A and B are shown apart, each in its own frame.
Chain A
Amino acid sequence: MKSLAQLAEIRDEMKKSIAIRMQEKPGSDSKVRAHVLVCGGTGCTSSGSVTIREIFEKELAANGIADEVQIIQTGCFGLCALGPVVIVYPEGTFYSQVTPDDVSEIVSSHLVKGELVQRLVYDDIGGGKKAEGPVSLNETGFYKDQKRVALRNCGFIDPENIDEYIATDGYKALGKVLTEMTPDSVIELMLESGLRGRGGAGFPTARKWQFAKNSVSDKKYVVCNADEGDPGAFMDRSVLEGDPHAVIEAMAIAGFAIGADEGFVYVRAEYPIAVKRLAIAINQAREYGILGKNIFGTGFNFDVNIRLGSGAFVCGEETALLTSIEGHRGEPRPRPPFPAVKGLFGQPTIINNVETLANVAQIINNGAEWFKSFGTEKSTGTKVFALGGKICHTGLVEIPMGTPLRTIIEDIGGGIPNGKKFKAAQTGGPSGGCIPASLIDTPVDYESLMSIGSMMGSGGLIVMDEDNCMVDIAKFFLEFTVDESCGKCTPCRIGTRRMLDILTRITEGKGEEGDIEKLEELANNIKATALCGLGQTAPNPVLSTIRYFRDEYEAHIREKRCPAGQCKALARFTIDRDLCRGCSLCARKCPVNAIEGVVKSPFVIDQDKCIKCGTCIDSCKFGAISKK
C-alpha cells in the first residue's frame, strides 16, 4: 500500500517525465526527447489509430530512435472528424487524418530531422483562415474557445497508466480530503462551488450528498451513472476512456463525504474500450492501495465495482439503474423514497453522472472560487458537448457555461458543411428540444436553455441544416422513446405510441386538421403523469419542434408537402422542361414506368405512379430532375 509520501514521490518523478508534454524543460536525464501522442478514443480507433501506433513503433525502431521517442496512447483529443489524430511534443504539432503511409514521413522528417510535415499539420485557426507558420493546439479555431476541466487529461495522459494520472496531481485531492477535511467540509466546498449534475437535470451535487450523509445507515453506496444512452452523445464515454482515474478518485471522495464504503460504476456494455480502461484503472488503484481497506493509513475503506448495462435506455434513469444493478428488469420505481434515503439494495445511495464526478477532484484541489470563475452565476463551471450532425468539426468540446450557441457552432464547430444554412440544434437527445436559427445567440446554460423550451441534457448537440425535416426529427426521437419505454406506466407506454402514430401519419401525408392540437394535448398529459424521467420528457422533442417549426407541421398536414424534401412519401419528383434533353434514360431506368415522353422533347413524371425511389435523379446527366 502506498502512503501519501510515496504518492508525492511518484508525482515528482513522473512530472519530470511528462515535462516534454507540458512543453517545459525535461527535468530528468532520460534520453527521451519527444512524445508522440496517438489518440486511442473510440472515434480514432474506428478510423485506424491502433495500426498507426504499431507502425510508429516499427518506424522508430527502423530509424534507431526508439529509445528517444516515447509513444503514448491517450484518450480523445476531441476533433473526431479528423481522426486518426497524432500530436508530437515538445512542439505540440497537431497532425490530423494520419494514414499508415504518412507515419514514416513523420518519423523521418519530424522526429529525425526536426522538420514538420506541413501537409498534415492542422492549422485551421477559425473563420476559414489558415495559420501562417507553426501553430499550437490551443491557437486552432477548434480549441481556442474551449476550457478543458472535465476533459483536462483526455488526450494528454495515458489512461492505462496510473502514474501519469498521479503526475497531473491525481489522487492528491483524495489525500487532502482524507487527511485534512471532514465530510461536512467536503460537502460545504462542493455546495460553494455550485457544481450541478451534468447528466441533464442539473440538480446541485452537494445537496444529493448532504441528503445521503444525513440518512442513518451502516451501509451506503456511491453509484456512477455511465449508462450514457442518448443517441449521439459520447461525453461520458470519452472521460472514461481518457481519464478513468478521475472518476474513481471522485467516487472515493463522495464515499468519504456520505459515509459509504462501496461504489458501483454502471456502464454501457456497448463501450468496450471504456470498460476495459476502467477495469485496468480500478485494478491499478487497488494495487496502490488507493482503493481497498485503510486508504493512506487513515482508516477509510472504499472499493469500486463495475456493472455492465445490457442495452436499455431507461436504465439511465436513476431508480431504474438501481433496479438493474440489483439484477432485475430495469424498471423505475416511484420517488419518494429518493435513492439518498432508500436506494441500492434498500440503502442510502448517491448517483452521480461521469462528467459531474470528473469535476470533483479539481474543485477540491483548486477551490470553489476557481471553479466559479468559469460559467455563469447559476450555472458554474464548464460543460462537455458531443458535437455531431451537419457540422464541420464533429467531436467533443468543453466550453464555459453561458457560451453562446453561435460560438459553439460557427467558431468551434467550423460551421455547416457544403455551404448549407444552419436550421436548428438539438440538445438533450430524446428528452430535449431544439434551438432554432433565430435563437443562435442563446447562452448555453441550464436556465437559458430551459427558458426556450430545450434543456442542457447530458451533452449531445446535434446540428441540423436546411435539408433536415423537423417533423421527421421529432418522429425519430419518438420512435426511440416508444422503443425504449419500459412499459411500466400507461402514459408512457401507450401515450408515446399514440403520439408516434399521429406523427407517422403526418409524415406520410395523411395528417388531418387538429393533429397538432391533439399532439400537444397528449404531450402535456404524458409530461404530467408519467412515472419517470423518460416518460416525463419524451414529448419534449415534439413540443419544441411544434413551438418553433409549426409552419413545417402545417405544410405537411395542409399542403401535403415536406419543405425540407426529406419525407419520402411527400416528395414530388419533377423534370425541368428547360433542362431536359429528352434522352429517355430516366424513363428506361424508372422501375415502375412512371416517366413518359417522346425522345428529344421534355419527359414528364406521372405523380400517381411514382414511388419516389430517386432512381431518375441519379440517372439524369443534365440535372433536370429535382425533388421537392
Chain B
Amino acid sequence: MALTKEQIAAKYAELEAYISENKDMDGALIPVMQKAQELFGYLSLETMELISERLDVPVSEIYGVATFYALFSLTPKGEYVISVCTGTACYVKGAQLVLDEVKKQLGIGSGETTPDGKFSIQDTRCLGCCGLAPVMMINNDVYGRLEPADVKDILAKY
C-alpha cells in the first residue's frame, strides 16, 4: 500500500497547514507530532526535521519526546494493527494466552510488523471494554470473550 508522491505531498501540505495554525500555541510540539503520527502512521526523520524547522525545536528534543510516549512510532506500522488488551481485567481472564497465540500465528513479537507489512502487534494496556474480557482489536474491529483457539480464524479474515 505504498503512497503515491501526490498523496505524500498532500499529507505534508496538511501537516504544514496544521503547524501554521497552531505554532503559536503554548506547548504546540506534542499536538503537532500527534497530527504527523496520525497522517503518516509514524514519524520519519524527514518529518521530524520539518517539525524542528517550523517550530524551532531541536530534532534531538523531538526524538526524545517521540521515544518517551507509546503513541509515537519511528517505523511504519502494518496495514492491520492488532492490539491484544493486557489490562488487569483481561489479564486475569487469560489475555496472555491469547497474545501468545497471536505472536505464534504471526511469528512476530510485540511492537513488530510481519515482513509483508500486513500485521503489527501493539502493546495495549486497556481498551476499556472489560465486560468483554479478554479482548483484542484489529484496527477498529473489536473481538471479545476470546479463547486462544479463536485467534487463527479471526486472523484468516484479514
Contact = CB atoms under 8 A, between A and B. Distances in A.
Interface stretch (A26-34, A152-160, A182-190, A327-335): A327-335
B112 to A, nearest CB: 17
A310 B30 contact: yes
B30 A327 contact: yes
Contacts of B89: 231-232, 388-389, 394, 462
Name, among A83, A231, A312, the residue most crowded by chain B CB atoms within 10 Å (CB to CB).
Answer: A231
A231 B133 CA distance: 12
B135 A486 contact: no
Interface stretch (A42-50, A98-106, A119-127, A493-501): A42-50
A480 B129 contact: no
A234 B28 contact: no
B27 A462 contact: no
B27 to A, nearest CB: 4
Interface stretch (B7-15, B66-74, B113-121, B150-158): B66-74
A43 B69 contact: no
Contacts of A328: 29, 61, 65
A391 B48 CA distance: 47
Contacts of B127: 42, 46, 270
Contacts of A308: 31, 34
Contact of B87 (A80, A232, A237, A329): A232
B92 A464 contact: yes
Interface string B103-142: 0000000000000000000000111111111010000001
B68 A80 contact: no
Nearest to B61: A328
A395 B88 contact: no
Interface string B48-74: 000000000000010011001111100
B132 A390 contact: no
A388 B88 contact: yes
Contacts of A429: 88
A212 interface: no
Interface in A446-492: 460, 462, 464, 468, 473, 476-477, 480, 486
B92 A312 contact: no
Contact of A394 (B27, B29, B87, B133): B133
Name, among A80, A81, A327, A480, the residue most crowded by chain B CB atoms within 10 Å (CB to CB).
Answer: A327
Contact of A390 (B86, B92, B125): B92
A9 interface: no
A327 B130 CA distance: 32
B125 A231 contact: yes
Interface in A255-270: 269-270
B88 A237 contact: no
Main secondary structure on B side of the interface with A: loop
Contacts of A89: none
Contacts of B33: 310
Contacts of A83: 131
A597 B128 CA distance: 48
Contacts of B128: 42-43, 234, 237, 270-271
A311 B124 CA distance: 10
B144 interface: yes
Contacts of A311: 69-71
B91 interface: yes
A43 B65 contact: no
Interface in A286-345: 307-313, 324-330, 345
B39 to A, nearest CB: 15
A327 B70 contact: no
Contacts of A80: 129-132
Q: List the 6 shortest-distance A-B pairs measured between CB atoms, nearest first.
A: A80-B131, A388-B89, A311-B70, A310-B69, A232-B88, A231-B87
Interface of B: 26-31, 33-34, 61, 64-65, 68-72, 86-89, 91-93, 125-133, 135, 142, 144
Interface of A: 42-43, 46-47, 80-83, 229-234, 237, 269-271, 307-313, 324-330, 345, 386, 388-390, 394-395, 426, 429, 460, 462, 464, 468, 473, 476-477, 480, 486
Given A232-B87, A327-B30, A330-B69, 4 more contacts: A43-B131, A310-B69, A311-B70, A388-B130
13 contacts: A47-B132, A231-B88, A232-B87, A234-B130, A307-B30, A307-B31, A310-B71, A326-B27, A386-B130, A389-B92, A389-B93, A460-B88, A486-B68
